[in-house]
Structure 1
Amino acid sequence: MLRKILRGLFTTIGALVGFFIGEVLLKSNNFNVLNYFNSNLGLKIVFLTVSTILFGFILFLLSPWITSLIIRSIEYTEKSVQRIPANEILFGTIGAITGLLIASLVGVQFSHISIIGTIIAVILSVIMASLGADIAVRKREELINIFSSMRKSSGSKDKKSKAVSKGDPKVLDTSVIIDGRIFDICQTGFVEGTLVIPNFVLEELRHIADSSDGLKRNRGRRGLDILNKIQKELSIDVQIYEKDFPDIAEVDSKLLKLAQVLNGKVITNDYNLNKVAEFQGVPVLNINELANAVKPVVLPGEEMRIQIIKDGKESGQGIAYLDDGTMIVVEGGRRHIGETKDVVVTSVLQTAAGRMIFAKQKELMEN
C-alpha cells in the first residue's frame, strides 16, 4: 500500500515539475524568438500538456527505485532505533535540547559578525547538541537515581520504585512464565536488566487461559498471575513490547527475532527453543539448566536411602526420585517397588533435560 501511495505521489510531483518547467520555458527568451507560441494559445496549452505528461511519466518510471530506497532507509532507521533502549533516546533528546539552548545563548555573542558569526553559531549548535546528548546518555543512571531520590523525598514513599536497569534486556517466553520459577529467581536478585514481555506472548497466554481444556486454562491463568506478581511485588523493571513481527508465524521465532533486535537474551525452559537459539547465536538463559546447576552434587560411591516407586524402561530396573525431582535408576529394583532401600551410586548422567543417577542396591554390592 505504501509503495502505491509513494508511486502516485512521485508521479504527481513529476507532473507538477513538468508544468512549471514548461511555463518557465515559454517565458524564456529562446521561446519568445519563436512567434508561434506568442500568437497561438492552443499551441501553448499543448506544449504545457506534453511537458506535464512527459515529466510525470519519467517520475512514474523512476518511482519504484526511489520508493525502494526510501523504504529501505525507513526500515534501517527503524531497526537502528529499536536497538537503542528507550531511556537512552529520552535522555539523549533532553541532552541535545539542553545543548542547543546553551549554544543559542553563547551564539548571541557572535551575532554582530555577519557571515562568520552565522557559521560559528551553526558549528557551535552541532557541537553542543552532540556533547549534551552524549553526556546525558552516559550519565543517565546517575540522573535516574537523582530523580528517584527527589521523588522519594517529596512524599511518594508509598510507591515502590523500580530498580535501575543495568543488564541486557531479558525476553520471557510463554513456557517460563507459566512455569512460575522466574518469579522466585527475580526475587533473589540474580536477574539484572529489564524483563521484556512481548505482546504476542501475552496474546498466547490469553488464548491458553480461554481454552476449553481445563488443564490448559489453569496453566494460562497461572502465567497471567505470575506476570502480575512480578510487576506488583518485585522491584525489577518490566516492559511490555507492543510491536509484532507479522511476517513471522511462530511465537518462538518471534522471540528470537525480538532478542536480536533488542540485543537481549531469551529466558526459557524449552529445550527445543534453547537449541534453535544456540544455532542462531541468540543468548539464552535456561531455567532448567539453572535448576540442575544448583542441585546437590552426587558422586559415584555415595550411599543413599530411597523408595522405589515404579519400574524402569529396561528389564529389572526400578525408578526412585530425590526430593528435588532427580530420577534414580536402580538396577534390579523392579522386584522391590514400594520398598525403601539403601543404594550405592554407580554413575551420574548430566543432560540438558536434567540429571539422572544410576545406582545398585547396597546389599547386592556387598555380596
Structure 2
Amino acid sequence: MTLIFIRILFVILCASFGFQIGDFLQGLGRFAPFIGVGLGVLLALIIILMELSMKRVSIRGLSAGVFGLVIGILFARLIMWTISGLVDKEYHSILQVSLTAVFCYLGMIMAMRGKDEFNIIIPYIKLRREDQKEEIIILDTSVIIDGRIADICHTKFIEGKLVIPRFVLKELQQIADSPDPIKRNRGRRGLDMLNKIRKLSYMDVKIHEEDFPELQDVDAKLIKLSKMLGAKIFTNDYNLNKISELQGIPVLNINELANALKPVVLPGELMEVKLIKEGKEYNQAVAYLDDGTMVVVDNARHMIGQQAKVIVTSVLQTAAGRMIFTRLETQRGERDRR
C-alpha cells in the first residue's frame, strides 16, 4: 500500500512539473500546459514500468555492480596515467575512453559474478570486534513444521540471529494452502510456530529477501544462502543434512539434539515400563519411554497392558533412534535360585 501511494505521488509531481514546463512553451498555444501534463504523466508511467521490471534486481547485485564500475574506472585512470607519456596527445582521448569502457565492463562483470562473496560493501559495513563473531542460523522448512524449534528458543539455548529466507516462507505458505488436509495442517502449524518465535523478545529473528531465481530447489537455495552469510542451517531433513556436510556447511540437526538429550541406560539397570503391544519376535512385548524410545522385553507377551519391572540387557543405536532390549526382573530371580 505504501509503494502504491509513493507511485501515485510521483505521477502527480511529474504532472505538476510538466504543467509548469508547458506554461513556458506558449508557442504551442493555449493547450501547452495540458500537453506538458500529459508528457509528465507519460514520463512517470515509463519510469514506474522500468521500476517494476527491476523487481528481481537485488540490492547486493546492484552494489556489486557499482563497486565493479568504480574499480574499473580507477584501473583505467591508473593505466592511462602510466602510459600517457608513451602515446601521442591526439590519441589520449580515444585511448582513455576505450580503456574506461573495457575496464568498467570487466569490473562490473567480475563483481556481478562474485556478488555472493560481497559480505562487506561500504553501504552495509558492520563495525565490530574481530573476536565477536555474530552467530547466524538459517531455519529450514522441515524444522519449522516440526515445531520443537519454538520450545528450544523458549529455553534460551540458541544464541545469535535466526534467519528465515523468503523462499522458505513461500514454501510454507504453499503447504498451508494445500488441498490435502494433512499438509495444510502441517503448514499452518509451521506458521504458528514462526509467530510464536517472533513474539519472543530475546530472539533476533529476521526475514531474508534474497530468492536466487536461477535456482529451483529450496535445498540448493538454502546452501547458497548459508555460504553467502557464513551461517549454519537448522534442519531435521536427512538429505539436506548430508549435502550440507559434504559442502562444509555447519548443520544443527534437531533429531541429533533430541537423541543426545535422551537419558543414558546401561546394561544391568532396572526400570519400570508399561507393556503396550506384541513384539516382532516370539513372546516379546514392547513398551515406550517418555521420550519415545522403544523398549523390547523378552518373554513378556502375557503381561501386555500391565506395568513391569525389567532389567536392561543391551542397547542398540540406529539411524532411526535407539532401542533398549530387556528381560523381566522375575527372570533374574529364577536364574539366581537355579
Task: Confirm or deny a common fold (TM above 0.5).
Answer: yes
How far has the Cα of 1:313 moved from its partner? 3.4
Query: Structure 1, residues 75-101: CA drift from partner, whole Å, max 9, x if none?
Result: 21x2122x34x9x95455xxxxxxxxx
Tell me the distance in 1 between the aligned counterparts of 2:157 and 2:207: 21
Q: Structure 1: which 5+ residue stretches go unaligned?
A: 3-58, 93-136, 142-164
Q: Note if 1:181 corresponds to 2:148.
A: yes
Indicate the residue corresponding to 2:227 in structure 1: 260
Indicate the residue corresponding to 1:339 in structure 2: 306
* Segment of structure 1 superposing worse, 228-237 or 173-182: 228-237
Q: Structure 2: which 5+ residue stretches go unaligned?
A: 1-53, 55-97
Task: Output the amino acid matched with 2:315.
Answer: V
TM-score (norm 2): 0.63
Question: Is contact 1:301–1:344 with CA below 8 Å preserved after alignment?
Answer: yes
Indicate the residue corresponding to 2:286 in structure 1: 319
RMSD of Structure 2 on Structure 1 (CA): 3.4
Q: Note if 1:199 corresponds to 2:189.
A: no
Q: Structure 1 residues 314 and 262, CA, compared in 2 at 3 Å: closer, same or farther?
A: farther
Tell me the distance in 2 between the aligned counterparts of 1:225 and 1:257: 27
Indicate the residue corresponding to 2:274 in structure 1: 307
Query: Structure 1, residues 179-206: CA drift from partner, whole Å, max 9, x if none?
Result: 1111121122211111010111101110
How far has the Cα of 1:167 moved from its partner? 3.6
Question: Is contact 1:180–1:226 with CA below 8 Å preserved after alignment?
Answer: yes
Q: Note if 1:138 corresponds to 2:176.
A: no
Q: Structure 1 residues 291 and 184, CA, compared in 2 at 3 Å: closer, same or farther?
A: same
Tell me the distance in 1 between the aligned counterparts of 2:140 and 2:275: 35
Indicate the residue corresponding to 1:36 in structure 2: none
Q: Structure 1 residues 229 and 281, CA, compared in 2 at 3 Å: closer, same or farther?
A: same
Tell me the distance in 2 between the aligned counterparts of 1:221 and 1:282: 29
Question: Is contact 1:289–1:354 with CA below 8 Å preserved after alignment?
Answer: no
Query: Structure 1, residues 139-162: CA drift from partner, whole Å, max 9, x if none?
Result: 699xxxxxxxxxxxxxxxxxxxxx
Task: Output the amino acid matched with 1:301.
Answer: G
TM-score (norm 1): 0.58
> Aligned runs of 1:37-48 on 2, under 5 Å?
none
Tell me the distance in 2 between the aligned counterparts of 1:350 and 1:319: 17
SS at match of 1:233: coil
Question: Is contact 1:288–1:353 with CA below 8 Å preserved after alignment?
Answer: no
Indicate the residue corresponding to 2:116 in structure 1: 79
Tell me the distance in 2 between the aligned counterparts of 1:89 and 1:337: 68
Task: Output the amino acid matched with 2:274.
Answer: Q
SS at match of 2:312: strand
Task: Output the amino acid matched with 2:128.
Answer: R
Count residues with an aligned counterpart: 241
How far has the Cα of 1:222 moved from its partner? 1.0
Identity of aligned residues (%): 56
Q: Structure 1 residues 69 and 192, CA, compared in 2 at 3 Å: closer, same or farther?
A: same
How far has the Cα of 1:316 moved from its partner? 3.6
| Structure index of larger Rg | 1
Indicate the residue corresponding to 1:279 in structure 2: 246
> Aligned runs of 1:341-360 on 2, under 5 Å?
341-360=308-327
> Aligned runs of 1:1-367 on 2, under 5 Å?
70-76=108-114, 78-81=115-118, 83-84=119-120, 90=124, 92=126, 137-138=127-128, 167-367=134-334
Indicate the residue corresponding to 1:105 in structure 2: none
Question: Is contact 1:170–1:193 with CA below 8 Å preserved after alignment?
Answer: yes
Question: Is contact 1:186–1:234 with CA below 8 Å preserved after alignment?
Answer: no
How far has the Cα of 1:333 moved from its partner? 3.4
Task: Output the amino acid matched with 1:138.
Answer: R
